[in-house]
A and B are shown apart, each in its own frame.
Chain A
């Protein structure tokens, strides 16, 4: 493309393009978005891979995320130590999975992780309750919440163990008409 940029080396850019669904331009744009969160922390030269981590408070305040009820979970799932603090690579990872081009299976895998609040590899009733309460801002009564959760488990639990495994979740989510259109963030 001709325009020189000194943030990444060419190899780094190529590798990022291989590992994400972004084009070169988008990667650079994402880098600038990342840097804008904390210009004093993030250096303009990434060719020697500085170990910079931005805290969750900054990540969660991005306009793309700040109204999302699951923003904390998203950040936790994509951060390296599960604490919501992100390096640039985690950041790229996150938006790559949430981009339009990511395939359904990958999205479903991460959606499962996001909705699995207690990280036990199953979505169980407490996870579902948390999800409902986040979605409705605690507007439903506890009876209604538990009814909804039971219905969800009844509908989607194929192996009948009272909680949703990844396979259950995928089986359900691949049929959802709106999953692909709603589970993505444009940036």
Chain B
């Protein structure tokens, strides 16, 4: 309102002649604004180094600016009064008067605004912040309208209003965004009970859920929904119909549970899709879309994983010089302020104590290897045992998969025979990791290193299992391919025969089409592979949930309630409560994702199942953790392990890319099912699209691009680029290390210098004193300091303890003397530290251990 009044007043005396000068004003204002901003940033820089000083400075400035502001205001008021009283004659005068003022004001307003926006970063009390804030806001309110005049002023006011609105909008948007992050409160709750390492698993889970939602959107939006809406309906084609022989049992639950029957012939699997080039009135190119979505799933996942890895790496660049501040970091950053649970706190206390002890032991370097040969032997033995386990489990899986192939040819096999592979794999996944852990106890590694080994071994186990499974599947696929050739001929002849017979019987009526359910089919290996992956995923989900229920929940119930009538303490003793197994859970998640990546090409519905799985496991595991787990005894840091998980994920992504790429590039698709049937290879769909849908020259360009003569140089170029970038990054790393070393050296040198100065000078002094005893009575400052050291318990009356001196500025050697007022002459002549202090001036002293009483220490009296 005030602003508007101002406006009207200004407009009253708004005269044409002022325009030019006004424009000038504006230019100046802009310049000044810039300057102010620069100043602000400088201030900020300074503020970083010494907030204390900065605080005072800014306070002072505050006062000054407010004073100045008031002056400005007064002048302005005066100006306005005069201008209102005498219309246009005075206006030029006012202009000249307020030109500089306005510039200044503008600057101040900018400053105030900066202050307002950075208010929350100030280490002040809230009361002070509030009052300063109010002052600044009033100031800005008052003067930002007065800066312009006439039209300019209106524009300015409008701009300000929009800026305010924009800030408000941004704030609301931020609020909205934080509300939209799912499960934030749940994760916070877990975090406060179990520390950040357990929460890191849930954050990882949430991230995974986000990625899978995108994949789900891609597949459902571009493949499944178009097929369901616009494709041929169920029962119109052989590939979309359950064969006659299976129709009787196709709806039984036991059949559906194995993903046979109606589920097998649904849009969830590869085989259902037709090879029609375009479907529906949209002329949607479904085969093309199917292929592109399959590729873009991998592309998107790779991009997301690598991007988040890079972000993590950027965040953790600071922890380069690990060995400089071992103890300091342990002391000041090891307590996790998030811990809000007594048990976690107990564990944290224990782990901090042990880590301190470990560091002390490391520091003393008294690691007397009691029997290095025995330890080496044990380690080798442990590794041999574990490799045996890995090989054994790999063979077992291979054997079981082979057996299952023979079972699948037989009729009437029991439930166990049909699910043997899944059961064996789940059992291996359940029992091998604890076995490894037991064996790893032989090795006697440091727990941190031990954990890495453990993770690596479990990873190898899972990976071995996965690849054996894949190899067995490959055998299966090859068999199916051989079978297919036979079936193809049969189908061909059947159709031909049917046609002939109908033609022979009645040549006028068109032959009644063969029912799609009766057409003999090929085995359709793609759907088989898809079903295999879906089954594996589902059984994995079930096993995980049952493990949680039995291993965590029922165990917890048992321990909790049977404890009242048991002969030993169940809670503290043998079964106790389960810990949350972070590494196992993360690895499980990572491998599950690998399955999804591999399987989604042949079973588009798999991603949907996975989304459901992640969603339920978020709630289920949160509940299980909170209800039946106890915090870890050995807490490992979340911040560093995160990128490790991502690295595993990337590895799995790459490994799951290989088999899919192999099948796409080198196996012929089935002749009677799937979107690529009838083609020699799956990627032919691209060539087809280019030839039929694009103008001729595009096809030509593509044929040139596909030329090996072009591809090989391109690959070469890429390799060279990688080599070059690698070399550059290595050089940077080297330079970085060098710089770090230099800084370290400088620091040491400075310390040396200070120490030597501090310690040698008094020595020289003492020597001098010995030579010329007469000067002693004058008690030079250095000597006064010596006295201080002799009587550190504040026996010197002349000095105020600590504070005043501490505030006097950075304690450099030069100021040292000046800081002391001379005490009453306490007489010290003995150079008592002559032997302990620097043996030679200029030689660095051994740093690792408590230095002898360094003179500098006398300064911090209240510490003693």
Residues of A at the B interface (CB closer than 8 Å) are 1, 15, 17-21, 23-25, 63-70, 80, 89-90, 92-93, 96-98, 102-103, 105-106, 109-111, 115, 118, 120-122, 124-128, 131-132, 135-137, 139-140, 144, 147-148, 150-152, 154-156, 158-163, 165-167, 169, 172-179, 181-186
Chain A residue at minimum C-beta to C-beta distance from B172: A1
List the A side residues contacting B349 at CB < 8 Å.
69, 135-137, 139
List the B side residues contacting A122 at CB < 8 Å.
802, 806, 860, 863
List the B side residues contacting A179 at CB < 8 Å.
329, 332-333
List the A side residues contacting B134 at CB < 8 Å.
15
List the A side residues contacting B327 at CB < 8 Å.
148, 151-152, 155
The answer to whether A135 touches B318 (Cβ under 8 A) is no
Minimum C-beta distance from B251 to chain A (A): 51
Which 7 pairs from chain A and chain B are nearest by CB? Answer: A124-B863, A177-B319, A89-B126, A67-B345, A162-B857, A151-B327, A136-B353
The answer to whether A161 touches B859 (Cβ under 8 A) is yes
Choose from B126, B340, B637 the contact partner of A19 (Cβ within 8 Å): B126
The answer to whether B337 touches A185 (Cβ under 8 A) is yes
8 Å CB contacts to A: which residues of B736-790?
747, 750-751, 754-755, 758
List the B side residues contacting A174 at CB < 8 Å.
318
- Number of B residues, CB within 8 Å of A: 89
Given known A-B contacts A25-B175, A131-B331, A96 and B120 have beta carbons under 8 A apart: yes
List the B side residues contacting A151 at CB < 8 Å.
326-327, 363
Choose from A19, A90, A140, A158 the contact partner of B353 (Cβ within 8 Å): A140
The answer to whether B754 touches A70 (Cβ under 8 A) is no
Q: Assess whether B283 is interfacial by the CB under 8 Å rule.
A: no
Minimum C-beta distance from A154 to chain B (A): 7
Minimum C-beta distance from A64 to chain B (A): 5
Choose from B120, B325, B352 the contact partner of A20 (Cβ within 8 Å): B120
Interface string of B117-143 (1 = CB under 8 A from A): 001111101110110011000000000
The answer to whether B807 touches A121 (Cβ under 8 A) is yes
Minimum C-beta distance from A162 to chain B (A): 4
Minimum C-beta distance from A75 to chain B (A): 13
Q: Assess whether B545 is interfacial by the CB under 8 Å rule.
A: no
Complex Cα distance A118/B134, Å? 34
Choose from A15, A140, A154, A163 the contact partner of B357 (Cβ within 8 Å): A140
The answer to whether B863 touches A159 (Cβ under 8 A) is no
Interface of B is mostly: helix
Complex Cα distance A90/B128, Å? 11
Given known A-B contacts A122-B860, A166-B51, A147 and B335 have beta carbons under 8 A apart: no
Complex Cα distance A122/B52, Å? 13
Complex Cα distance A52/B806, Å? 35
Q: Assess whether B791 is interfacial by the CB under 8 Å rule.
A: no
Chain A residue at minimum C-beta to C-beta distance from B175: A23
Choose from A67, A120, A162 the contact partner of B806 (Cβ within 8 Å): A120
Complex Cα distance A117/B341, Å? 25
The answer to whether A90 touches B340 (Cβ under 8 A) is no
8 Å CB contacts to A: which residues of B295-344?
316, 318-319, 321, 324-329, 331-342, 344
Report the stretch among B188-196, B224-232, B710-718 that lies at the interface: B188-196
Q: Assess whether B640 is interfacial by the CB under 8 Å rule.
A: yes
Q: Assess whether B24 is interfacial by the CB under 8 Å rule.
A: no
The answer to whether B342 touches A67 (Cβ under 8 A) is yes
The answer to whether A159 touches B321 (Cβ under 8 A) is no
List the B side residues contacting A67 at CB < 8 Å.
339-342, 344-345
Chain A residue at minimum C-beta to C-beta distance from B50: A167
Complex Cα distance A120/B801, Å? 10
Choose from B171, B196, B333, B849 the contact partner of A17 (Cβ within 8 Å): B171
Complex Cα distance A106/B134, Å? 22
- What are 14 A-B contacts defined by CB distance under 8 Å? A23-B171, A124-B862, A126-B863, A136-B353, A152-B331, A161-B859, A161-B860, A162-B854, A173-B333, A175-B325, A182-B336, A183-B333, A184-B337, A186-B192
Chain A residue at minimum C-beta to C-beta distance from B191: A186
Complex Cα distance A50/B50, Å? 35
Chain B residue at minimum C-beta to C-beta distance from A67: B345
The answer to whether B810 touches A159 (Cβ under 8 A) is yes
Choose from A25, A121, A136 the contact partner of B803 (Cβ within 8 Å): A121
Complex Cα distance A128/B860, Å? 14
The answer to whether A19 touches B332 (Cβ under 8 A) is no
The answer to whether A19 touches B334 (Cβ under 8 A) is no
Minimum C-beta distance from B811 to chain A (A): 5
Choose from A18, A126, A178 the contact partner of B116 (Cβ within 8 Å): A18
Complex Cα distance A115/B802, Å? 17
Chain B residue at minimum C-beta to C-beta distance from A181: B639
The answer to whether B638 touches A124 (Cβ under 8 A) is no
Given known A-B contacts A89-B127, A147-B360, A156-B325, A178 and B639 have beta carbons under 8 A apart: yes
Minimum C-beta distance from B777 to chain A (A): 29
Q: Assess whether B573 is interfacial by the CB under 8 Å rule.
A: no
Q: Assess whether B504 is interfacial by the CB under 8 Å rule.
A: no
Choose from B172, B328, B849, B850 the contact partner of A156 (Cβ within 8 Å): B328
The answer to whether B120 touches A18 (Cβ under 8 A) is yes
The answer to whether B751 touches A160 (Cβ under 8 A) is yes
The answer to whether B324 touches A106 (Cβ under 8 A) is no
The answer to whether B175 touches A24 (Cβ under 8 A) is yes
List the B side residues contacting A147 at CB < 8 Å.
360, 363, 850
